[in-house]
A and B are shown apart, each in its own frame.
Chain A
Amino acid sequence: MITKMNHVSIFVLNQDSAYDFYVNKLGFKVHTDAPMGPGARWLTVCPPEQPDLEISLMAIEEGMMFKNGTAKHMRDLVKQGTFGFGVFECKNLLATYEELKARGVEFTKAPTKEFYAFEALFKDDSGNWFSLGERN
């Protein structure tokens, strides 16, 4: 029986810029930051209250993972906002929304009461979008 998820990937255009976004703007903690040779880096971050979920900020670069020009295609898709990689949770959406906005996070939807949740939408520095919901 599967019990939990401990790693998940988000594809980003630039790991330095993603580090700044996820750590300095969203307030995530760096879990592992390992140089893996020239131009390669393994970088994972965790939401502050979820230290056992490592989010790998995976650079989209031509290589083993993206071959034959697929990196460019993937980068274009990410930039266009094709991918929504998840739903984050906070205790107070209005306060978190104001704080993240003040830190420079771009929201594409202000806090709105929907049928299923009180939620807002924001984009990361690459173009990936996320829902941010309030947990009651």
Chain B
Amino acid sequence: MIRKPPTLDPYPKIYLYRRLVQAKLFIDDHYAEAIDIDNMADEATFSKFHFIRLFKTTYGKSPHQYLTSVRIENAKQLLQTDITVTETCERVGFNSITSFIGLFKRFTGLTPSAYQQQQHDRHAALIQNPLHFIPNCFAEKKGWTPPHPKP
């Protein structure tokens, strides 16, 4: 009896990516905890070496670099509130305030406290003069400004 070959999935890589994505989502959900490369590779059920290589090829950064970027992005969100820099550092999973400040500056060009001040100033300006942030054509269409004179 001639056995048919199994049906080939046109994109077998999908299963590989599914596991990789699982690890990425794990980082997104657990960035505030003390996670390391072993936790991440376990989540994807890859060997550590294979995981790091595939992650970097797919996302353009190592898992550790990605974890750092997620922590910084979340710190940026927290710093838009009145939370202190020290508490922000702890809440996004950094152990050392010095390394947090250094990394934050490397990613954003500003120290966390300067960034927080900048965001507070922008928010105050937004509340005071929201129309300064909206193209007039939209504001006018919405009825937020008087119509402009016809040419």
Please report A residues at the B interface, Cβ cutoff 8 Å.
Answer: 7, 9, 32, 34-37, 40, 42, 56, 58, 63-65, 91-92, 94-95, 97-99, 102-103, 111
Contact = CB atoms under 8 A, between A and B. Distances in A.
Interface in B110-140: 126-127, 130, 133-135, 138
A94 B143 CA distance: 43
A99 B24 contact: yes
Contacts of B59: 91-92, 95
A64 B142 contact: yes
Contacts of A37: 144
Contacts of A9: 138
A94 B130 contact: no
Nearest to B54: A95
B146 to A, nearest CB: 11
Contacts of A111: 11
B13 interface: yes
Interface in B1-30: 11, 13-14, 17-18, 20-22, 24-25
A66 to B, nearest CB: 10
Given A56-B138, A94-B11, A94-B14, A35 B130 contact: yes
A42 B130 contact: yes
Nearest to A95: B17
Q: How big is the B interface, by class?
A: 20 to 34
Given A63-B142, A64-B141, A91-B60, A102 B126 contact: no
B138 A102 contact: no
A131 to B, nearest CB: 18
B142 A92 contact: no
A74 B141 CA distance: 16
Contact of A94 (B13, B126, B138): B13
A34 B134 contact: yes
Given A36-B130, A42-B130, A98-B18, A65 B142 contact: yes
Interface string B24-39: 1100000000000000
A95 B20 contact: yes
B143 A98 contact: no
Contacts of A42: 130, 133-134, 138
A98 B17 contact: yes
Contacts of B21: 95, 98-99, 102
Nearest to B76: A29
Contacts of B18: 98
A43 to B, nearest CB: 11
